[in-house]
Amino acid sequence: MSEGKTPAGGRLLTFAAWSVLVLGLWLWGRQLTVAPAPLDGQAGGAVGPGLPAAHAPLGAALPQRVDVPSIGIQAPVIPRGLDKDGAIEPPPYDRPGTVGWWDKGAQPGTAGTALMVGHVDTRSKPAVFYGLSSAQPGDKVRVVRADGSLAEFTIEDVRVYERAAFDAHKAYGPRVRGRAELRLVTCGGTYDKVAKEYTANVVVSAYLTGVGVRPGKPV
């Protein structure tokens, strides 16, 4: 599960490549109005072997930063809405180190699935989610929230969804009813130089397993 590598001379993540990602998120977002059932149909907090139990969802608070220590990600988070075509706006290309959070969905730490998206590369260098496919089950994702709390998520799987058979609900839908879940999403697979787009999306799925206090905040 590797992302397309930036060739000599670099390249820009094209609109066509990004549209594959945002279209899937837009379709999934529309399904929220009909409350799709969890993929595993479970009401509890069942998890995979060796993974910690789920923590109860937190109250609402806006995300400010997301960290994935195992792969060196530490990035500010900005809210993103829909563009004129009804797709989720990507983070600005001139801010490649920034992660976008879909502000019409769940807030990270609350019940439901929170979505965060980021670019894989720019014209000249890797972007914030370049190494996302290297994450492993059991790795931690920490989201600093505006109320001073630190929501800690545990990654349960990392998957690559091919564009040709993309299933938005399978990629972004809730895994377990009532859990606080998180998806980190970027373009991946291989880069098609003819079509000028990536062939897949990398989706990291995580769930809330702990809560702490933001570093530097008085207790």
Token pair for 90 = 């990507």
Please tell me the predicted confidence (pLDDT) of residue 197: 66
pLDDT of residue 21: 52
The CATH class, in words, for 15-43+54-213 is mainly beta
Using H for helix, E for strand and C for coil, what is the string for 83-126?
CCCCCECCCCCCCCCCEEEECCCCCECECEEEEEECCCECCCCE
Residue-wise pLDDT for 17-36, tens only, equals 444 455 455 444 444 433 33
Do the beta carbons of residue 202 and residue 174 sit within 8 Å?
no
Tens digit of pLDDT for each residue in 131-152? 999 999 999 999 999 999 999 9
pLDDT at 216: 67
Which residues in the chain land under pLDDT 50?
1-20, 23, 26-45, 219
pLDDT of residue 181: 97
pLDDT at residue number 194: 67
Residue ranges per domain, the chain?
Answer: 15-43+54-213
**pTM, rounded to two decimals:** 0.79
